[in-house]
């Protein structure tokens, strides 16, 4: 029986993937950041009649990573699939975002997955193979206004994963990234609930527009179960691809970007995000100049 270790399983993609892998016969170790969430996840798994081991793990706590990995190896002898799913977002202009917030996003979305991957790799090499899957984002490909820090964290993760892919392929270790677009998970709701930006900021009108736009789009995303199914497929494929756009939005944007000249990229981003008015120096749509 193959063993999967998944981070960020208190809700969303992580929890759905943990359940789906368990249904497909994997031995699943699901981690959650907050210890209080352990019981909730165990209760949800029991209700679904799925056997899942739940571990507390904050991926930003570097000292906790190696013991968590070792616990799984001591329990069952191997980790065959690692899904780096834990992630956080931040909304705001790059000039405004608090330095601690920038560090939090990078620690969670980039450094945490890197440290966890490094901890798992020696065992995967020793056993002669494995799967490492990074849950990235469409934002890794398109730097959108108001999401610059989040996009940077995911882009860094993807480039590290691409380099890693070529470092470990000789050991039969496959590395893939999944790039979800808009899905009905807790992440869009957190973005929509944002608004703690400096009211005197030069960017306040832009950020307010983006938050309002996200609030209007709540509930219009894809079913997150689709991402769980993609992750399970990658885990089971003999030779998985490197990049998997996930959802209608991601598929459309990736296709469009591939057809664009660099000179057209800026116009496309402004069109997709509705911020041409900002770049042109105009008033927010629907407001007087």
Give yes or no: 137 in active site. Answer: no
Q: Is 10 annotated in the active site?
A: yes
Q: Which of 26, 154, 203, 244 is catalytic?
A: 154
Q: Which of 10, 78, 139, 148 is catalytic?
A: 10
Count of residues in the chain: 289
Neighbours of 242 (CB within 10 A): 13
**150 is an active site residue:** yes
Provide the strand spans (E) within the chain: 3-6, 27-32, 52-56, 81-84, 130-135, 173-180, 243-246
* Catalytic hit among 78, 136, 148, 176: 136
Tokens of 202: 């030069």
From 26, 29, 150, 244, the catalytic residue: 150
Distances from the Cα of 239 to the Cαs of 140, 172, 233, 242, in angstroms? 23, 9, 11, 9
Q: How far is CA 169 from each of CA 63, 125, 147, 163, rounded to the nearest angstrom?
A: 28, 10, 33, 10
HSE value, Cβ hemisphere, 13 Å, CA-based, for 126: 9
Does the annotation mark 154 as catalytic? yes
Residues classed as catalytic: 10, 136, 150, 154
């Amino acid at each position: 029986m193959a063993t999967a270790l998944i981070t960020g399983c208190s809700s969303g993609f992580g929890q759905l993937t943990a359940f789906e892998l368990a249904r497909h016969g994997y031995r699943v170790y699901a981690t959650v950041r907050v210890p209080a969430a352990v019981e909730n996840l165990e209760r949800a798994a029991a209700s679904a009649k799925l056997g899942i081991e739940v571990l507390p793990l904050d991926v930003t706590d570097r000292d906790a990573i190696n013991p968590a990995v070792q616990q799984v190896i001591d329990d069952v002898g191997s980790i065959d699939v690692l899904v780096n799913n834990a992630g956080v977002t931040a909304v705001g202009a790059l000039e405004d975002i608090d330095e601690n917030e920038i560090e939090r996003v990078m620690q969670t979305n980039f450094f945490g997955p890197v440290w966890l991957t490094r901890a798992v790799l020696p065992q995967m090499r020793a056993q002669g193979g494995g799967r490492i899957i990074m849950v990235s984002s469409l934002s890794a490909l398109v730097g959108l206004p108001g999401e610059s820090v989040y996009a940077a964290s995911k882009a860094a993760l993807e480039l590290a994963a691409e380099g890693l892919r070529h470092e470990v392929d000789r050991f039969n270790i496959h590395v893939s990234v999944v790039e979800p677009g808009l899905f009905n998970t807790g992440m869009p709701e957190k973005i929509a609930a944002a608004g703690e930006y400096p009211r005197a900021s030069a960017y306040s009108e832009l950020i307010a527009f983006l938050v309002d736009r996200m609030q209007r789009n709540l509930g219009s995303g894809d079913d997150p179960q689709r991402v769980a199914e993609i992750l399970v497929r990658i885990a089971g494929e003999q030779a998985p691809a490197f990049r998997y756009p996930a959802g209608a939005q991601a598929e459309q944007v990736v296709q469009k970007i591939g057809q664009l000249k660099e000179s057209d990229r800026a116009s496309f981003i402004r069109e997709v995000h509705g911020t041409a008015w900002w770049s042109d120096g105009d008033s927010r749509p629907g407001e007087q100049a």
